[in-house]
Amino acid sequence: MALIKNNARVVCLVALMVMSTSFFSCDASRSLDIGLENEWDIFCLRLPGCHDPKPSNLTLRACQLDCKDNDYDPAKSECKAGACCCHK
């Protein structure tokens, strides 16, 4: 009985490793195109300088560059609630 439990654990571990290496590595490299990325109209990421009520020009420029790097319109970028938000 103990042998069956150990085999089940090994099979589950191997399955998790295979799934994580195939799916997460594709997602990290942006090579997996399932259509969702192109449908997002807004994209937000945490930016430390965006916590200020009036962010500095340097923070706003960093936000614009982050938006441009992620294929969003840099002119439509904004800092709000501690995050840089990019719009299509």
Q: What residue segments make up the domains of the chain, in order of their start?
A: 1-32, 38-88
Pinpoint the alpha helices (H) of 1-88. Answer: 2-19, 25-28, 57-69
CA distance 72 to 67: 5
State yes or no: pLDDT of 41 exceeds 60.
yes
Distance CA 5, CA 2 (A): 5
Residues 6-19, mean pLDDT to the nearest whole number: 68
CA dihedral 45, 66, 82, 29 (to 10 degrees): 20
Query: What pLDDT does 9 receive?
Result: 75
Residue 48: its pLDDT value, please? 87
> Dihedral angle at the C-alpha atoms of 35, 36, 42, 46, nearest 10 degrees?
-130
